A and B are shown apart, each in its own frame.
Chain A
Amino acid sequence: MLNNITLGQYYPVDSRIHRLDPRTKLICAIVFIVDVFLADSFIGYAILLAFLYAVTRLSNVPFKMLLRSLKPLRMILILTFLLNLFFTQGETVWIEWWIIRITKEAFLQALFYSLRLVFLVAGTSLLTLTTSPVALADGIEILLSPLKIIHFPAHELAMMMTIALRFIPTLLEETDKIMKAQMARGADFESGNLITRAKAMVPLLVPLFVSAFRRAGDLAMAMESRCYHGGEGRTRLRVLKITRADRIAMLILALLTVCVVLEGMLF
């Protein structure tokens, strides 16, 4: 039952975007975020929207998946929209009733800020939809490695991410096993209010934690016995390579930035 879980929201298909180097995608995502903040008109947004549309088409990820990534955000979106709508001062009054006053400016600003949120989430979702978590960890390790000068543990961070990803299925399987064992002894995880249910989790979590600590000890020993001694002098089986496609992708992002900035200056 737990065999087919996909980690994170990675959408495993092949595409030009999937094949890009994770570092390129990380950098592009960051540039895109900056562009979203640089864009200060709906024309700028139209450019960003066209870009998002093109990338999504290229990535072979269904638009439905992208919309799904926006779903957890819906409350924040509604709140942003309503707060901006009601509390922005404006000239052109559309509706005025009791203490409610809605102006054209307020509406436009509400729309603008909500869209900004949508773009931010859609842009970063495209990164995680098209990049496997392991590739992402690799990319982060290399991008952060210059920070080693100030003793930032870039390698350790990436190793932690990889090990976490490796053990998520194992621990899920174990949770399932403990749960069934406790249910066989009459434990009830489903009925009662929130507090009763939270209390029922204790006999599940305690053995899970104990075993996780034991696993950590075992794994540390196994890693040491295979000569693990940190990131120093380590080589990699999978070497990341910047290809022509990566250079093109970065160029496109640079162009996008220029367009957004120019548009802001001209209009």
Chain B
Amino acid sequence: MTDDVRVRLEDVSYTYEEAKKPALSHVDAVVHPGEFLAVLGHNGSGKSTLAKLLNALYIPTEGTVLVCGYDTRKEELVWEIRRRAGMIFQNPDNQIVATVVKEDVAFGLENLGVPTEEMIPRVESSLAAVRMNKYADSAPHMLSGGQKQRVAIAGILAMEPAIIIADEATAMLDPSGRAEVLDTIRRLNREKGITVVWITHFMEEAAQADRVIIVSEGELIASGAPDEIFDRVDFMRENHLDVPPMADLASWLREQGVPLKKGILTVDDMVKEVERVLCPSKSDT
């Protein structure tokens, strides 16, 4: 089957056992190769359920999920899907299996039955890609949260995936750890062309993505470039989502009659735009 998209969701619904309401209902979405896609939603919106559907951890109750062209419903394809769609979880402690960093990175390769001689260079290069090669022989419990998440990323990377799915991978980290992990993922996305599905409830993180989709109450309610999405301040509010403070300020200033252009997300954007409005001569030169 030829398919030019990494992930295709067709009318996907998922209902947990014993739950009355579906966690996700009738979701249609695609993820393009090389894309950095952010999935935004508040707690209980169904975004984590969506993540687990992409890795065949959950099988849709209705509809089809195709990962790299493979149908997650087919049991014999489960390992093919999981080696291509690596998943990073929220809790850095609860996803490290081995007692030494490099052995944890090798865990996925060991499961795939990769021969030892091939495993060693792959573990080394994965650790180098997340800049953790210095810690190859450390014990995981000695590392910081951000470092543990980078080890988890290396473990996925060693399997040479087409997609990395990060399910709120920064939610339990401090600000510096959060930046560390997001920067690593963005670099891998840019340099290695790995498709990223970044699930988060942090607006600032979503603002850095190529495209954002918003999930609310189990439904996909919006999809678009970050600046388009965050300019719809009222729409975001209605769905109990924050907007980046600068987008919020820009929208208020526009209401007050300041002619700011659309798509302001960061302080830098704002500074440039205010400069342009206040001293047009300066920005001309």
* Residues of A near any B CB (own CB < 8 A): 3, 134, 162-163, 165-166, 169-170, 173, 214-215, 218-219, 221-229, 233-239
Contact = CB atoms under 8 A, between A and B. Distances in A.
26 contacts: A162-B97, A162-B99, A163-B97, A165-B99, A166-B96, A166-B99, A214-B94, A215-B91, A215-B94, A218-B94, A222-B94, A224-B57, A224-B82, A226-B82, A226-B107, A226-B111, A226-B156, A227-B111, A234-B110, A235-B109, A235-B114, A235-B119, A236-B116, A237-B106, A237-B116, A237-B120
Contact of B79 (A3, A134, A229): A229
Given A219-B94, A237-B103, A226 B155 contact: yes
A2 to B, nearest CB: 9
A239 B103 CA distance: 12
A107 B100 CA distance: 51
B158 to A, nearest CB: 10
A214 to B, nearest CB: 8
Interface stretch (B126-134, B136-144, B209-217, B252-260): B136-144
A82 to B, nearest CB: 43
A169 B139 contact: yes
Chain A CB within 10 Å, residue with most, of B52, B120, B139, B156: B139
B102 interface: yes
B87 interface: yes
B89 A237 contact: no
A134 B99 CA distance: 8
B6 interface: no
B244 interface: no
B170 interface: no
A225 B81 CA distance: 9
Contacts, number: 92
B269 interface: no
B109 A169 contact: no
A237 B94 contact: no
A233 B109 CA distance: 11
Nearest to A4: B142
A236 B107 CA distance: 8
Nearest to B99: A166
A162, A219, A227, A233, most chain B CB atoms within 10 A: A227
A235 B107 CA distance: 9
Given A166-B96, A223-B97, A235-B113, 8 more contacts: A3-B141, A166-B98, A225-B82, A226-B108, A235-B109, A235-B116, A237-B120, A237-B123
B242 to A, nearest CB: 27
Contacts of B174: none
Interface string B72-106: 00000001001100110101011111111011001
B247 interface: no
A6 B156 CA distance: 29
A4 to B, nearest CB: 9
Contacts of B98: 162, 166
B115 interface: yes
Interface string B175-186: 000000000000
Contacts of A165: 99
A170 B96 CA distance: 11
Given A218-B95, A236-B116, A225 B139 contact: no
Nearest to B139: A169
A192 B116 CA distance: 56
B12 interface: no
B89 A222 contact: yes
Interface in B15-44: none
B171 to A, nearest CB: 13
B221 interface: no
Interface string B34-73: 0000000000000000001001010000000000000000
A227 B100 CA distance: 19
A229 B108 CA distance: 10
A239 B116 contact: yes
Nearest to A132: B99
Contact of A226 (B99, B139, B141, B159): B159
